[in-house]
Amino acid sequence: MISVLSLLMGSSSALSVLTLVLLFTGNLWAMAAAAAAAMVLAALAIPALVQQEDLEQGQMGQFGAAEL
């Protein structure tokens, strides 16, 4: 799960940087395509982030209950 999340977030970040580079070259079609791809990858990462947070909260709850 972590590797998929890292891949999605890293790809989204790289495409965001590419979008900024393309902004200065004047290639609007390529810029729009890169921005759209970055948004799609970021949207795909959201459920993975939520699932990871839920797992971490569950682990924290288990550790807290064991200490009592």
Position 29 scores a pLDDT of 92
Give the count of beta carbons closer than 10 Å to the beta carbon of residue 19. Answer: 19
Band (61; pLDDT cuts 50, 70, 90): low
What is the reported pTM? 0.66
- Whether residue 39 contacts residue 61, with contact meaning beta carbons closer than 8 Å, is answered with no
pLDDT tens-digit readout, 2-53: 677 788 888 888 888 998 888 899 888 998 998 899 888 888 888 888 888 8
Residue 8 carries which side chain, given as an amino acid letter? L
- Structural domain spans, the chain: 2-67
Rounded distance between C-alpha atoms, residue 68 and residue 57, angstroms: 17
